[in-house]
Amino acid sequence: MAITKPNKARRNREWLRHLASAEKKPLLATRLLGMAQTLAIMAQLALMAWLINEVIVNQRPLAEILSGFVGLVFLLLLRSGLQILQDLTGQAAANRIRLTVRQTLLQQLALLGPVHLTNESAAGLSSQWLEQVDALQNYFARYLPQMTLAVISPLFILMLTFYLDWVAGLFLLISAPLIPLFMALVGMGAERLNQQHFVLLKRVSGQFLDSVRGLTSLQLFGLSKQATQDVAYAADEYRRINMRTLKLAFLSSAVLEFFSSVAIAAVAMYIGFGLLGYINWGPAADLTLFSGLLILLMAPEYFQPLRVLAQFYHDRASALGAADSLIDLLEAQPHSQPSTSAENKTVSSDSSLVLEAQDITLSYPKRGQVLAPTSFKLAKGELLLITGRTGSGKSSLLHLIAGFMQPSSGQLLVNGKAAGSEALIWMHQQAFIINASWADNLRLAAPHASEEALLKAVTAVGLAPLLAQQKDGLNTLLLERGKSLSG
């Protein structure tokens, strides 16, 4: 059953929450350090406002309030220390999560085996292993703790502001909910863009790697310029997606700055007119330089956690975009389940070693049966030649013997016991065949060889009967790595 987009989004979020649960205590410590930093900032601002009030209003000499300046330096150092500890704790937790994900991916790739991985691009897997796992780092190290701090830290400041002046607190309270709302509206497509970003990165990586691998062939057939243009076009598409993502990031920040600036300006006007005596209603009459200055100093700090969250918001979109691709790989079903039985872990290497197949078959859901019932018995030191037309199941049989897949019916036995994937090793051939004709492939070794020489070489390696079956002879097209060459 296909997974709908809302269900996939929920699946991605639940997977990220599951990863975070493994580092619950370190992430909680990161949040607590952030809260402590907020309290240190509030104390620092209160001390600054008190020092200014004492010097300007109470006319106290600096020598009498020297301890206040010492306290100010101490709070500044404390604030910096808490910030460093918060960053180190969050980064360490995120590093452990990344390591766990990479270990899980490695286990999954080993479980899937080479049969599944033949359909995957090496560059694409490399992109998932490196860039997409790295995209999770800042989500856990920065965004997740900041989600809590964006609520708790402004709440601390809001409570103190209401205590000092409820009208100023009301200005801040009204403006705060509007900011996340408009930021969400602006950044609504960020997750989708990041998914496109990772899909395109995977494609560009694969295209570039294929071009590098086939560089010799491209030069031989004069296609270097075309390949360069293809890579350049793909890179330009990647640039466009990146710029669209950055545009959303700047728009989100612009929305935040606009609303926070309006709110701070309103608070500043209210406090200024209140201190000048132009506003006499409500708590304005009780405003002092200390309370007014403290509120003004705290107003930017009230919005600072939201500013930081806006900077980290696209870490969330990147993580969700990466999660979508990573979960698809982690949820892929292997063609076989490795045996866990202890008796299958090792097999005796004595002369009585016998590999036996009893009516094994293999079927695929969409293709039906690809291997008819097959039986054979192979003792140690014997050779078995497997021949057949294209599509008759030769490679599938080798995959079954190697334990990469499980037979749909029948049994594969080693010394009379069920064979596990740990008991057998398959060393297969890796032919260097390019997507070109028989003649072009043969001329890679001898560029100036005549047709007669090519036919002689084909006969020498026993491929003359197979070539005779080809309609176009030496001009018959071969697929890369000889996928169309079977017999």
Q: Residue 297: its pLDDT value, please? A: 93
Q: Report yes or no on 269 lying in a domain.
A: yes
Domain-terminating residue out of 330, 360, 390: 330
CA distance 276 to 181: 35
Q: Report yes or no on 147 lying in a domain.
A: yes
Tokens (6 digits) for 292? 């007014």
Q: How many alpha carbons fall within 13 Å on the CB side of residue 149? A: 31
Q: Report yes or no on 270 lying in a domain.
A: yes
Q: What is the SS3 assignment for the chain?
A: CCCCHHHHHHHHHHHHHHHHHCCHHHHHHHHHHHHHHHHHHHHHHHHHHHHHHHHHCCCCCHHHHHHHHHHHHHHHHHHHHHHHHHHHHHHHHHHHHHHHHHHHHHHHHHHHHHHHHCCCCHHHHHHHHHHHHHCCHHHHHHHHHHHHHHHHHHHHHHHHHHHHCHHHHHHHHHHHHHHHHHHHHHCCCHHHHHHHHHHHHHHHHHHHHHHHHCHHHHHHCCCHHHHHHHHHHHHHHHHHHHHHHHHHHHHHHHHHHHHHHHHHHHHHHHHHHHHHCCCCCHHHHHCCHHHHHHHHHHHHHHHHHHHHHHHHHHHHHHHHHHHHHHHHHHCCCCCCCCCCCHHHCCCCCCCCCEEEEEEEEEEECCCEEEEEEEEEEEECCCCCCCCCCCCCCHHHHHHHHHCCCCCCEEEEEECCEECCCCCCCCCCCCCCCCCCEHHHHHCCCCCCCCHHHHHHHHHHCCCHHHHHCCCCHHHCECCHHHCCCCC
Q: Report yes or no on 88 lying in a domain.
A: yes
Q: How many alpha carbons fall within 13 Å on the CB side of residue 210? A: 17
Q: Report yes or no on 424 lying in a domain.
A: no
Answer yes or no: do 308 and 355 share one domain: no
In residues, how long is the chain?
A: 487
Residues lower than pLDDT 70 in the chain? 1-6, 117-124, 178-199, 201-202, 205-207, 209-210, 213-221, 249, 334-351, 365-366, 390, 419-432, 435, 479-487
Q: Report yes or no on 429 lying in a domain.
A: no
Query: Which CATH number characterizes residue 216's domain?
Result: 1.20.1560.10
Q: Residue 28: its pLDDT value, please? A: 95
- The whole-model pTM stands at 0.66
List the Cα angle 124/129/135 in 5-degree steps: 105
Tokens (6 digits) for 479? 């697929």
Answer yes or no: do 403 and 442 share one domain: no
Answer yes or no: do 140 and 177 share one domain: yes
- Domain span at residue 467? 438-482
Q: Residue 376: its pLDDT value, please? A: 87
Q: Report yes or no on 344 lying in a domain.
A: no
Answer yes or no: do 356 and 455 share one domain: no
Number of domains in the chain: 3
Span 313-367, pLDDT tens digits:
778 878 887 888 888 888 877 655 554 444 444 555 555 778 888 888 888 766 7
Span 184-197, pLDDT tens digits:
655 555 556 665 66
Q: Residue 237: its pLDDT value, please? A: 77
Asked if residue 486 lies in contact with residue 390, where contact means CB atoms within 8 angstroms, the answer is yes
Q: Residue 11: its pLDDT value, please? A: 87
Answer yes or no: do 155 and 201 share one domain: yes
